[in-house]
Structure 1
Amino acid sequence: MLFRILGTLSKKVSDAVYRAALAMKPQVVFVLGGPGAGKGTQCSKIVESYSYTHLSAGDLLRAERGREGSEFGQLIDSYIKEGKIVPVEITINLLRKAMEETMKLDKEKFRFLIDGFPRNQDNLEGWNALMRDEADLRFILFFDCSNQVCIDRCLERGKSSGRVDDNRESLQKRIQTYLQSTRPIIELYQKKGKVRTVDASRDVDEVFADVKSLLDKEG
């Protein structure tokens, strides 16, 4: 009798934990910085040491661009080649789908690094309109380095990356887009006390040491 009662209680607790997991919102950290600031590299290192899933807005868009039968592929391709920002509805749809699929496979995977988003005011407004009630934004992780460092890194990366936008002409456009559109977003969140800045001009391991210290402090 006792074991049956304990078994029933255990099942109720398990069911409650399961329902809580299903109801849990994704915990999001926006990762921002100029092209070549090292966002992707640092996100990969974070994933190795912490329970985060890395979602790159750019990688998702590039994958969708190359997906056979994609209704948005050609549109995304033209935006990326021009160094312009893809319409927010497309990007958010891809991010939401990726988060949902991740959490469906593993309920413990509810922390996300969203790399390269939001990139402008339109992105931010789209996120607030479509995702504010679906995900909790913890803070912005900002990798800060000079424009010249960004350009040099991207040109070096372009020798092997195969990315159509890792060339000097596209880079100049991307830098201007970043300065005009993304930096104001970072400054807006700085005023709210939600930006954690890391000097990204240094060696990868030096940068990550600062990132680890910051994440350990945030919990």
Structure 2
Amino acid sequence: MLGRLFGNASQRVPSFLKRMSLIMKPKVIFVLGGPGAGKGTQCSKIVEAYNYTHLSAGDLLREERGRAGSEYGQLIDTYIKEGKIVPVEITISLLRKAMEETMTKDETKSCFLIDGFPRNEDNLHGWNKDMDGKADVKFVLFFDCSNEVCINRCLERGKSSGRTDDNRESLQKRIQTYLQSTRPIIKQYEKHGKVRTVDASRTVDEVFAEVKAILDKEA
């Protein structure tokens, strides 16, 4: 069913990414952390200071959910409201399309912050299957923050964000999904020395100072 919209993921790798993989592989930093850890805020600051393009898996899914005529808008909406992880075929297709469009417009834009992905083992398997050899994952930038701080930040954000999932019931489900599904992915990358952890409980500027030090060191 998903194949009708996005096609078989293994058969639909955009020709542009195929060409670019022979010249310069897109460089990717996965940005992970609980809901409200400040991933989006910090990615915005990184984009201002460095030549990175920020791709939010969550934002791409919400945009697809609201796109007129989207066959899977309702499905995405249900998964998001329930705090569940959207099927990997949809998420990777949206990410791949966004990367292709970015690099088509400007070939110097080959560095990507992929925010909120991979969120579970299925996401990671899907990425490795479809993007292996076509993109270079440098490391995971992990924003570590207590559950309570995350929930309080999201509730405050929900007062003006208009996001249907910024409520306590959805947040508690999202936190549980994060703990059960995403933290194990972070631990997998830790075993390979590919996680850079930031204490995200501090102020925006304090967190960014540490992020900047990490990026400067990795450059």
User: TM (normalized to structure 1)?
Assistant: 0.90
Q: Distance in 2 between matches of 1:89 and 1:139?
A: 23
Tell me the distance in 2 between the aligned counterparts of 1:21 and 1:85. 29
Query: What is aligned with 1:140?
Result: 140
Distance 2:64 2:43 in 1: 21
Aligned to 2:110: 110
Deviations 1:156-213 (A, max 9, x none): 0000000000000000000000000000000110010000000000000000000000
Structure 2: segments with no counterpart, 5+ residues: 1-18
C-alpha separation in 2, matches of 1:108 and 1:21: 14
Q: Distance in 2 between matches of 1:41 and 1:137?
A: 21
Question: What are the equivalent positions in structure 2 for 1:1-219 lying under 5 Å apart?
Answer: 23-219=23-219
CA distance in 2 between partners of 1:144 and 1:165 (Å)? 21
Aligned sequence identity (%):
80
Q: What is the DSSP-based 3-state SS (H/G/I as helix, E as strand, rest coil) of the residue aligned with 1:158?
A: helix
> Which one has the largest radius of gyration?
1
Q: Provide Cα deviations, 1:115-150, integer angstroms capped at 9, x if missing partner.
A: 000000000000000111211100000000100000
Counterpart of 1:174, as a letter, is R
SS of aligned partner of 2:158: helix
Quote the Cα distance in structure 1 between the aligned partners of 2:58 and 2:139. Answer: 20
CA distance in 2, matches of 1:102, 1:144: 29
* Structure 2 CA distance for aligned equivalents of residues 51 and 31 of structure 1: 16
Superposition CA RMSD, Å: 1.2
Within 2, Cα distance between the matches of 1:142 and 1:184?
12
Question: In the alignment, which residue of structure 1 is the partner of 2:3?
Answer: none
4+ residue runs of structure 1 moved beyond 3 angstroms? 19-22
- Whether the 8 Å CA contact 2:144–2:198 is kept in 1: the answer is yes
Aligned in 2, Cα 1:45/1:188: closer, same or farther, shift over 3 Å? same
Q: Is the 8 A contact 1:55 1:112 kept in 2?
A: yes
Deviation readout 1:11-69 (Å, 9 max, x if unpaired): xxxxxxxx879732110000000000000000000000000000000000000000001
Distance in 2 of aligned mates of 1:68 and 1:147: 35
Contact 1:151 1:171 in 2 (8 A): yes
User: 2: CA distance between counterparts of 1:70 and 1:103?
Assistant: 25
SS at match of 1:134: coil
Letter of the structure 2 residue corresponding to residue 173 of structure 1: K
Cα distance between partner residues in 2 of 1:26 and 1:100: 10
- Between the aligned partners of 2:29 and 2:198, the Cα distance in structure 1 is 14
Name the SS of the counterpart of 1:30 in structure 2.
strand
Contact 2:21 2:134 in 1 (8 A): no
Q: Which runs of 5+ in 1 are unaligned?
A: 1-18
Q: CA deviation at 1:95?
A: 0.1
Count of residue pairs brought into register by the alignment: 201
- Is the 8 Å Cα contact of residues 22 and 107 (structure 1) preserved in structure 2? no
